[in-house]
Amino acid sequence: MKAIIIAVDGPAGSGKSSVCKGCAKKLGWRYLDTGAMYRAMTWAVLEAGIAPENSAAVIALAKKTIIRSGTNPDNPTIEVDGMDVSSAIRQPRVTNAVSAVSAISQVRELLVQQQRDEARQALQSGTGIVVEGRDITTVVLPNAQLKVFLTASAEVRALRRAKEEAGTQIASQEAVSETQLALQRRDHLDSTRQASPLKQSLDAAEIDTSDLTLAEVIDEVVKRAQAAAQ
């Protein structure tokens, strides 16, 4: 199969990470989680004691911070100045601040260039890549051979995220309700920011994952990728 770029966007809890990693594994391709890059920058901002809303200070830090994203779907890693922060970036304090940091256009410009470089290097090596985020189909890789927009109902997304955060297959109704409110806030911030807002590309295939198994979604994306690679 010819190496191509699969660009995947969608809101939190729509299944992007699981689907994209699954597709990359099935195809033997690379995987890039751009959201982890913004989380890594947010972690660096918080560790430096900088308020996420302090744009000037955040930009100054971003210009000298080195973020490295591993592209192995079996073990995706993220480093900040040589330190593995794969677990640290999932902390609630990072989740609560990432929208503010990722809304800064200069930060996005720096990371978008890295993301494009990763995609280009993958294709140059003869390996396809699956890239996930919120502005991949619209801004980062608008010429990707396959564009996908994953979505799911608000209730399903909240349940998935609540289980993920709890590390179990069961989540209380209270946890789900709190998570749904947090996701609504994140969706609003991401879709209304001036810099690269979350929106569906007109030529992206929408896949509602609410009533589909993970395997079914992966199979559907891979089938579309095979058609796009012809």
The Cα–Cα gap between 186 and 76 comes to 24
Distances (CA, A) of 205 to 2, 27, 127, 148: 20, 19, 23, 5
- Coil, strand, or helix at residue 63? helix
> So what's the pLDDT on residue 168?
78
pTM for this entry: 0.91
179 contacts: CB under 8 Å, gap ≥ 6: 158, 159, 161, 162, 165, 171
> So what's the pLDDT on residue 170?
81
Could you please report the per-residue DSSP string of 84-119?
Answer: E-TTGGGSHHHHHHHHHHHT-HHHHHHHHHHHHHHH
> So what's the pLDDT on residue 12?
86
Q: Which CATH architecture has domain 5-152?
A: 3-Layer(aba) Sandwich (3.40)
> So what's the pLDDT on residue 158?
93
- Coil, strand, or helix at residue 149? strand
Instruction: Give me the residues of the chain with pLDDT under 50, please.
Output: none
Starting at the earlier edge strand, list the strands of the sheet with 129-133. 30-33, 129-133, 5-9, 146-151, 205-208
> So what's the pLDDT on residue 66?
97
- Picking from 49, 65, 63, the residue whose alpha carbon sits closest to that of residue 106 is 63
The Cα–Cα gap between 53 and 104 comes to 9
The domains of the chain are located at 5-152
